[in-house]
Amino acid sequence: MAFKAGQYLEMVLPGIKCPFSIASSPDRKDVIELHIRPTPDSEDSLEVEALLDSGVKHIQIEFPKGDCIIEEAPPNPLILLAAGTGVTQMNSIIEFLLPRGMSQPVYLYWGVLADKDLYLDEHYHGLVLRHENFHYTPVVSEPDSSPAWKGRTGLVPHAVLEDFEDLTDVTVYVGGGPGMVYTTLDSFMARGLPEDRMFSDVFSYAPRSREAVRE
């Protein structure tokens, strides 16, 4: 089952197709890993939960989907920016690149609402210890809900801007909603990022209108 790092699949359910980023590396040929988070009051989420709880042995999927991919290490530093479960797409990219001996720095910035949402926190701290070029920064946007949290707080794009005065020589992949992605694009371009060096699925499924671009 061939796919490229950064792609997603659609789970086919009666009347709907639910997209999920693939979290595993394309090097794993026997497994496709998905991270599925229950979402209250979401009909799609309830459908998926019911299907998985039913003990069904076969699930119909359509894949690979998406053109926000990476096939080889970029020649410059790589910033992976994720909000919430958008980290699954970045996880596939990380698991694909690091074993290939990428020499350029890789920076993962993961933004969540509360520290309890950092379900891969231990894993990424372990990668930091094993790969000297891998850097991991978790960011909690609602610190009042995480009284024990002593790390970075605020919006995850702002954390990148706090750390990088100049973005002219980086490549950026962003996983998140359209508002977050386009706000990030604008603020990063103001720091020198060339527009063609930011990649996101949002650019395909929710392109900006010409009016928004002119504004």
pLDDT tens digits in sequence order for the chain, 215 residues long: 799 999 999 999 888 888 999 999 999 988 899 998 887 777 788 888 888 888 888 889 999 999 999 999 999 999 999 999 899 999 999 999 999 988 999 999 999 999 999 999 999 999 999 999 999 999 999 999 999 999 999 999 999 999 999 999 999 999 999 999 999 999 999 999 999 999 999 999 889 864 344 34
Cross-strand bridge partners of residue 20 = 9
- What distances in angstroms separate CA 148 from CA 4, 105, 145, one per listed residue? 38, 30, 9
Domain limits, CATH 3.40.50.80, in the chain: 78-214
Fold of 78-214: Rossmann fold (3.40.50)
